[in-house]
Amino acid sequence: MKTKSFTLIEILVALAVISIIAGFVFVYMRGAIDSGKDMKRKADIGIIRNALVQYRSEHYSIVPAQATFCEIGNNCANLDSALQPFLEAAPKDPSGTSYTYQSINGADCNILATLSDGSAYKYDCGADSFSVEAVVNGDCGISSAYELNGSTPGLCDAGTVNSFSGTGPWNWNCLGANRGSNASCIASAAPASLVCSVGFGGCGGATILRLEDPGHHAENHDQSHYSYRLCCTGEDIFDDCSNSHKEIVLKLSSSTHAHVEKKNYDDYPSIYDACLSSKHRNVSCAYANDCSSLGGGYVCLVSISGDTNAHIGDCTIYPTKVCCKVY
């Protein structure tokens, strides 16, 4: 009885079929592994976000400042120590690397994880939102978190470079929404100087508030009942609440003889806001027992006796400090 043997062609076809099936299995398994890793990354960012929310609830809604991206649990000293009471140990990326954090002004922040396809999973603490964005390669990507001294054309491979303002150097970051189709480069000017003090009589800079005396009532800068002034000097500093680059310092109960409250309260009408503003730079104000805890660049304007219906004075009178920076 003769047995039928396979021809060389049949063997090659069978091997090809097996290879194709193995390839599909490998791709499926790789996709499943990548998907599992990405799920962990997103869950880890959520854990860090929850710890950061708890921290902000106890620290006047500010976050630790960090001008350039740092690695959480590795070289984010300010953030790591701040989150320690709320996060026993910072989670690590499944690849063994660290997630990254940045907060230029202490008011907003980004936390990033790199997904398996190279895109970035980002948490924006200012908007309290999550998004997936593609990191853009090219000059801007290479220059991310570095200082550039001029308006260099072609910084982004996709999208439009944001306009420059003020004087350099600028700190650059580049992220692209919708996988790069709406990419943009973001330039923030190097920190500007800001000096504020309470004094009697004239003011060498912008009058933010006029004071009955250090420690009592306040009135808007355009009133004339009080002789003490809260004055601030620095590049392009103004007291205009209609300016686009503005930040509310305090809210007043009326234009004169007024009590004050924090900017995030709504007991007092907005028409009596006291503002610090700049022509070209960004302004950030927050409240803390120590302005240095907010990060570099914050200076104390005045202190207040409470959250609302508060007295106001120089920085030595009350424990809550009104801290601002221009950047």
Q: Count the Cβ atoms, other than its own, within 10 Å of residue 232.
A: 24
Query: Does residue 207 lie in a domain region?
Result: yes
Quick check: 109 and 52 in contact, CB under 8 A? yes
What tens-digit pLDDT sequence spans the chain (327 residues)? 555 666 777 777 878 888 788 776 666 666 677 888 899 999 999 999 999 999 988 887 788 888 777 889 888 888 888 898 998 889 999 888 889 898 877 778 889 888 887 777 889 888 889 988 755 444 444 333 333 434 444 444 444 444 444 444 444 455 444 334 444 454 444 456 788 888 887 777 789 999 999 888 999 998 989 999 998 887 668 888 888 778 999 999 999 989 999 998 989 998 999 999 887 677 889 999 999 888 777 899 999 998 888 999 989 899 999 999 887
φ, ψ at 29 (rounded to 5°): -65, -40
- Same-domain pairing of 179 and 45: yes
Query: Does residue 20 lie in a domain region?
Result: no
Query: Does residue 28 lie in a domain region?
Result: no
Query: Does residue 177 lie in a domain region?
Result: yes
- Same-domain pairing of 41 and 113: yes
pLDDT digits (tens, 9 = 90+) for 295-313: 777 899 999 998 888 999 9
| DSSP, residue by residue, 22-40 | HHHHHHHHHHHHHHHHHHH
pLDDT for residue 10: 74
- Same-domain pairing of 124 and 205: no
C-alpha to C-alpha distance for 221 and 148, rounded to whole angstroms: 38
Which secondary structure element, helix H or strand E, spans residue 110, and what is its range? strand 110-114
pLDDT for residue 209: 93
Locate 174 and state its tokens. 């580049």
- Same-domain pairing of 165 and 198: no
- Same-domain pairing of 224 and 320: yes
The total number of structural domains that make up the chain: 2
Locate 176 and state its tokens. 């692209």
- Same-domain pairing of 208 and 293: yes
Domain with 79, as residue range(s), is 36-189
- Same-domain pairing of 167 and 58: yes
Query: Does residue 22 lie in a domain region?
Result: no
Query: Does residue 29 lie in a domain region?
Result: no
Quick check: 118 and 136 in contact, CB under 8 A? no
- Same-domain pairing of 240 and 153: no
- Same-domain pairing of 199 and 165: no
- Same-domain pairing of 152 and 262: no
Query: Does residue 100 lie in a domain region?
Result: yes
